[in-house]
Amino acid sequence: MKNLKYKILAFTLLFSVVLIAQQTPAPKQTTAISIEGATAHLGNGNVIKNSLIMFNNGKITFVGSAMMKIARQGNVIQAQGKHIYPGFIAPNSTLGLVEVDAVRASDDMDEVGAMNPHIRSLIAYNTESKVVESMRPNGVLLGQITPRGGRISGTSSVVHFDAWNWEDAAIKEDDGIHLNWPNAFSRGRWWLGEPTMLKENKDYKNEVEELTTYFLNNKAYQASNKSPKHLPFEALQGLIDGSKKLYIHVDAERGITDAINFAKANNIKHVVIVGGYEAHKVTSLLKENNIPVLLQRVHSRPKNDDDDYDLPFKLANELVNAGILVGLENSGDMERMNARNLPFLAGTCAAYGLDKEQALSLITYNTAKILGIEDKVGSLEVGKDATLFISEGDALDMRTNKLEKAYIQGRDISLESHQTDLYKRYSNKYKN
């Protein structure tokens, strides 16, 4: 299934991958909408039972109780017994950069080279992706599209999932740069007959040194007259002036510690740890430096046989209790198609210790804050984008996550997809 050795693909296949335009993006909101009677999960930890949510021109205009004697604007949706949520956000995602894992021609996520801060994911983001549209029926409406590979993979952007083109999709262009921190372990080179076990990476120090030198050179460049222009360093400027965040992908305790010290030494204003399997071991350091964590895929196995079987399930709880700002990410095997399961990652965090509303924040408000888009999305608050949905039941549980309506910037988006089309087509086939 997964992990295929995608080395080649017959050329005929390349030409047969025809990406047909999928669901048509919804038109601009022209009429106000009021949703009445639902339980509103605001995303910031608060809940309003029997709520009234109103939005117009793409923005939320009212969030409160349905008991309030206030005029309902525009079309009124009665949603008693249902639940409203802000759109879920999938950070550190490659959605739209690859369509089918095994089809190389559809793969645009990993550029050649080690230091690629200038590489921008946004322009390759495919708004027509069939995988992207399959996110929406589960409430995943936004994503941070992130390149992969190398030491510095490139620059990500945040998009919403209902657009004609990448320009329209952008919520925040070039929000941050992604750095893969050197690993303290390296694998034996089997082709030299070395055992393939992981062992201490003797080059770790050198690899960190290389990064340090790179950033020192960047500093020198920024102080110069910048002629001739150095494209990668130009891209790094945002890290120094604070307009971009540095996402450091790192799991191990030592790596996290070294990465934070590195960021401090290089005056990088905003740092986010991505992965953080061992972040619970360095909570005071994270807290002291006010560094948030985009926590690795919750639905994974422990990395060590001796670990608690539920360690990946309860990590978020441990970090939140230690006062860390936590969001959930889902990178790994088959990450794109799996991104629609993001709500259930949060659900598992609730099953393993967190309050349900806190768990919801892990994929809404917290993530928005971490990505620096909390002024627009991430919670149901007046003035923010009306990017939200109505579910029949608890959206963090697959048993009850059933969307009836979803809006992106107030636009009534389609919940259909390539998959629902096929479902209907074949269900009808057997009816006749």
Partner 1 sequence: MIKNYLLFIFTVCFLSLSAQENIPKNDGVKTLNTNYTVLTNAKIYVSPTQVIEKGTLVIKDGKIVSVGNGVSIPKNAVITDLSGKSIYPSFIDLYSTFGVEKPKGPDNNSRRPQYDATREGYYWNDHIRAEQNAIDLFKYDTAEAKKLLQAGFGVVNTHIDDGIIRGTGTLIALNSNGTNANRILKEQSAQYLGTQKSKTSKQAYPTSIMGAFALLRQVYMDAKWYDTGAAKETDRTLEAFNRNKNQVQIIEAGSKMNALRLDNIGDQFNTQYVFVGGGDEYEYVKEIKATNGTFILPINFPDAYDMENPFLAQSVELSDLREWNQKPYNLKILADNNVPFALSTYKLKEAKEFMPNLLKAIEAGLSKEKALAALTTIPAKIIGKSNEIGTLKTGAYANFLVTSGDIFDKKTTIYQNWVTGVKNELKTIDTKDIRGKYTFNLKNTDYELTIKGELEKLKSEVKTNDKKLGSKISFNDDWLNLTFSTTDTTKQEFIRLVANIKDTSVLNGKAIFPNGNDTVFVATKKTDSKSQDKKEKEDDKNDNEPKVDKFYPVTYPNMAYGFENLPKQETLLFKNVTVWTNEEEGILKNTDVLIKDGKISKIGQNLNISNAKIIDGKGKHLTAGIIDEHTHIATSSVNEAGHNSTAEVTQEDVINPEDINIYYNLSGGVTSAQVLHGSANPIGGRSAIIKMKWGETANNLIYKNSPKFIKFALGENVKQSNWGSNNTVRFPQTRMGVEQVYTDYFQRAKEYDAKKKSGQPYRKDVEMEVIAEILNKERFISCHSYVQSEINMLMKVAEKFNFNINTFTHILEGYKVADKMKAHGVGGSTFSDWWAYKYEVNDAIPTNAAIMHNAGVTVAINSDDGEMSRRLNQEAAKSVKYGDISEEDAWKFVTLNPAKLLHIDDRVGSIKVGKDADVVLWSDHPLSIYAKAEKTIIEGVTYFDIDRDKQLREAIKKEKNELTNLMLQAKNKGLKTKPIEKKEKEHFHCDTNF
Would you state the structure tokens that stand for residue 85, as one six-digit string? 């949520």
Q: Does 355 bind partner 1 (CB under 8 A)?
A: no
Can you tell me which of 81, 195, 242, 383 binds partner 1, judged by CB under 8 A?
A: 195
Instruction: Decide: is 160 part of the binding site for partner 1 (CB under 8 A).
Output: no
415 in contact with partner 1 (CB under 8 A): no
329 makes contact with partner 1 (CB under 8 A): no
What is the rounded CA–CA span in Å between residue 204 and residue 200? Answer: 8
Q: Which residues of 145-154 are buried (b: 16+ CB within 10 A; e: fewer)?
A: bbbbbbbbbb
Q: Residue 21 has which token pair?
A: 């335009």
Of the listed pieces 151-159, 160-168, 234-242, 296-304, which binds partner 1 according to CB under 8 A?
Answer: 296-304
CA gap 292, 270 in Å, rounded: 9
Residue span binding partner 1 (CB under 8 A) among the ranges 21-29, 157-165, 168-176, 198-206: 198-206
Nearest to 333 by CA among 89, 90, 3, 94: 3
> Site for partner 1 (CB under 8 A): which residue of 26, 76, 103, 208?
103
Query: Exactly one of 128, 234, 397, 416 binds partner 1 (CB under 8 A); which one?
Result: 397
11, 15, 190, 309: residue in contact with partner 1 (rule CB under 8 A): 309
Decide if 158 contacts 244 (C-beta within 8 A): no
Which one-letter DSSP state was computed for residue 39? E
One of 93, 157, 401, 409 touching partner 1 (CB under 8 A): 401
Supply the minimum distance, in Å, between the C-beta of residue 66 and partner 1: 27
Is residue 333 exposed (0-12), middle (13-18) or buried (19+ Cβ within 10 Å)?
exposed
296 within 8 A of 328, measured Cβ to Cβ? no
Q: Does 47 bind partner 1 (CB under 8 A)?
A: no
d(CA 218, CA 212) in angstroms, rounded, equals 10
- CB closer to partner 1, 208 vs 337: 337
Q: Which of 47, 67, 334, 382 binds partner 1 (CB under 8 A)?
A: 334
Residues 6+ apart with CB under 8 A from 359: 316, 346, 347, 349, 350, 396
124 or 311, CB closer to partner 1?
311
| Position 280 contacts partner 1 (CB under 8 A) | no
Q: Which one of residues 31, 80, 213, 400 is an interface residue with partner 1 (CB under 8 A)?
A: 400
The nearest distance, CB 225 to partner 1, in angstroms, is: 43
- Per the DSSP assignment, residues forming a β-bridge with 327 are 294
Kindly indicate which of the ranges 32-40, 42-50, 97-105, 216-224 contains the residues binding partner 1, using the contact rule CB under 8 A.
97-105
> Residues 192, 227, 229, 399: which binds partner 1 (CB under 8 A)?
399
Q: Please, what is the end-to-end C-alpha distance for the chain in angstroms?
A: 34
- Phi then psi for residue 33, to 5 deg, are -130, 135
**67 and 50 in contact (C-beta within 8 Å)?**
yes
Residues that bind partner 1 (CB under 8 A): 1-10, 13, 17, 99-103, 130-131, 184-185, 187, 195-200, 252-254, 299-301, 303-306, 308-310, 334, 336-337, 340-341, 344, 347-348, 350-351, 396-402, 419-420, 422-423, 426-427, 430
